[in-house]
């Protein structure tokens, strides 16, 4: 049972990485795939900490950092939409 959970979490991580590396047209899809990767890492971390019967303080720190990462990504998305009118990477000139 526990091995099936690890396999599901690993597959979530791999699928999130595949979406992140293949879909580079919209910033919103990239941000959603990053959040999916963070969610799978959170579940892996939760399974690991519960299997060794350790305290969950590091899980709370991980949640704080993932929420900050999500808020930063959304603020970048909003500023890009305000300046360029869409979330295409093609219209965003880095130079």
d(CA 81, CA 63): 27
What are the chain's domains?
2-84 (1.10.287.3510)
Q: Is the predicted pLDDT of residue 64 greater than 90, yes or no?
A: yes
What does the alpha-carbon distance between residue 43 and residue 5 come to, in Å, rounded to a whole number? 9
Q: How confident is the model at residue 66 (pLDDT cuts 50, 70, 90)?
A: very high
pLDDT of the residue at 25: 80
CB contact at 8 A, 77 and 31: yes
Which residue do the tokens 């303080």 mark?
A: 57
72 pLDDT band, cuts 50/70/90, is: very high
Percent of the chain with pLDDT over 70: 92
Angle between helices 27-51 and 57-84 (to 10 degrees): 180
Question: How many whole angstroms separate alpha carbon 76 and alpha carbon 82?
Answer: 10
Tens of pLDDT, residues 12-50: 889 988 988 886 788 888 888 889 999 999 988 888 888
With a cut of 90, say whether residue 86 has pLDDT above it.
Answer: no
């Amino acid at each position: 049972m526990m091995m099936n959970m690890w396999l599901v979490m690993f597959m979530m991580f791999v699928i999130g990485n595949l979406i992140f590396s293949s879909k580079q047209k919209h910033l919103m899809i990239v941000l959603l795939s990053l959040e999916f990767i963070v969610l799978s890492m959170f579940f892996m971390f939760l399974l690991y900490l519960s299997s060794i019967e350790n305290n969950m303080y590091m899980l709370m720190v991980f949640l704080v950092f993932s929420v900050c990462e999500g808020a930063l990504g959304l603020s970048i998305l909003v500023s890009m939409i305000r300046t360029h009118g869409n979330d295409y990477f093609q219209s965003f000139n880095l130079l």
